[in-house]
Amino acid sequence: MKQKLFFSLFLFLGACISQKHSPSISLDENGEITINIPEEEIQKLRERGFVNYSDFGAKGDGRTDDINSIAATHQFANEQGLMVKADKEAIYYISGQERTAIIQTDTDWGTASFIINDTLVENRQAPIFLVSSSLEPFKIEGITSLERNQKKIDVTLPSTCLVTVTDTSVRRYIRYGLNQNNGAPQTDIFVADKNGKVDMNAPIVWDFERISKITALPMDSNKLTITGGRFITIANKAESKYTYYSRNIAIRRSNVIVDGLEHRITAEGAHGAPYGGFINIRDCSYVVVKNSVFTGHKTYRTIGAAGKPVSMGSYDLTVNRALNVSFINCKQTNDINDRTYWGIMASNYSKNLLYDSCTFSRFDAHMGVANATIKNSELGHMGINAIGTGIFTVENSTIRGRTLINLRTDYGSTWEGEFHIRDCVFIPANGTFSRASLIGGRNHGQHDFGYTCFMPKRIIIENLHIDDTNHPKDYQSPAIFVNFNPEMRNDSYTEKFPYIITKEVILKNVSTASGLELRVSDNPFMFKEVKVIDEE
């Protein structure tokens, strides 16, 4: 008995000593994390150069809620400037409690897995991880107006900054259709150096006669790298309506690389609320997501703003108010042509977006993109959907949507700039029974979208093969343009808000599986002024 009592006392004392010299965390009365760690332990971790989640109590057993330990680990790492490493082969369970881990240092998730349970959450809009800068935004004083393509702003900045400007008196992107709305305040985002010089690779796209708000966020000059990680979301079971879930990785810092991440979704049922992007990129520049795997979300339906049933957009990737964002060598787990899953990506107010070597169900730009490139890629059933400005380049890619490029009808089917298409294969509707048209959209000229709507001024198509094998008997041939306005059949039709038509189409080496030659449109009147130049 004495032996057993001594041994128990020894274990108790040992545990006390161990606890005294190991990090521990507690929650204060406001639920904030407090880290208790002796100075000698801090020094050991500094000398090691990184911290593990297990250093702060994470079990990694797939059952214990580890989010507080994960958040504490990053909190300590941020204070000490240390890298974070997940424990090898760990399975971290993340419950629905509201807790966000702030990432400000390099993070290696390696082969670890993270199970995110969205079935019962305290705050559906709270991200799991927030990649943020330690630099603070500030208001810019003295600037009362801006001009489109302005090369310099009259201000001195502490360093290169991301500048966001808003005019609440002007409404843009006044949406048309089943999800109609009253638009959004005019917004722009651009990069300016310390002397106020604007990066003209991502120029100012609007005139601002007045400015309601203009802020600058200093850009981190060093790269922050996040590698690895296998994430599994247990899907929410909420009512199918527009209550977006954002239990995700939110990137709010410039100069970030995400490499080798995987995200999968499980337990999607008969109903559920949509998702706002597992990778959610906003208010930043120079972000690269590469060698990563994502998953399309199941499509649910609800009643839209017009009082009629609509399918809800649900995304694994979103880009909002961001510049120079690249997706390289990425793919999705489910079939890119399976229509039960929504298109995987959406963007708004962004510039210089890139897909390179990606296999995704779609590319999408809702409220405008300035310059975009898709190359060495394959796009599935939702294809390419966009409105915006600048140059849209599609090269060495296979497109399986209903059209090669669809100009979004709900935002006026507008593209003020050019399309450059080369070395591509277009398989209309993934080879199902269909008529082939290259450029899709619709604008009847009766709705005010908050801006003048344009078709691309020039379209250059070089080395394109159209696989129109499966076509109806009365099929004439592939068309360059769909019938954008069936009501416009002669000069008697009046547009309240004129739609500016393409000036020139340049063709070189365009072939079809049917052997039929490309024609302009089912609406020759509407496109009668388009100059088509065949350089073959």
Residue 5, φ and ψ in degrees, nearest 5: -65, -40
Torsion of CA 353, 354, 360, 363, to 10 degrees: 30
pLDDT digits (tens, 9 = 90+) for 179-196: 999 999 999 999 999 999
CA pair distance 456, 474, nearest whole angstrom: 29
pLDDT digits (tens, 9 = 90+) for 319-370: 999 999 999 999 999 999 999 999 999 999 999 999 999 999 999 999 999 9
Sorting pLDDT into bands at 50, 70 and 90, what band is 71? very high
Domain boundaries, the chain: 118-133+220-386, 138-218, 407-536
The length of the chain is 536
CA pair distance 271, 109, nearest whole angstrom: 32
pLDDT digits (tens, 9 = 90+) for 115-169: 999 999 999 999 999 999 999 999 999 999 999 999 999 999 999 999 999 999 9
131 beta partners: 103, 251
Q: Which residues contact 534 (CB under 8 A, 6 or more apart)?
A: 507, 508
Architecture per CATH, 118-133+220-386? 3 Solenoid (2.160)
Return the closest-CA partner of residue 109 out of 129, 127, 126, 124.
Answer: 129
Query: What is each CA distance from 240 to 111, 175, 179, 318, 520, in whole angstroms?
Result: 34, 22, 15, 20, 41
What is the model's pLDDT at position 2? 34
pLDDT digits (tens, 9 = 90+) for 373-424: 999 999 999 999 999 999 999 999 999 999 999 999 999 999 999 999 999 9
The two tokens of residue 59 are 């079990």
Alpha helices, H only, 340-476: none
Query: What is each CA distance from 273 to 241, 314, 415, in whole angstroms?
Result: 6, 8, 32
Distance linking the first and last C-alpha atoms of the chain: 99
pLDDT digits (tens, 9 = 90+) for 104-123: 999 999 999 999 999 999 99
| Averaged confidence pLDDT in the chain | 94
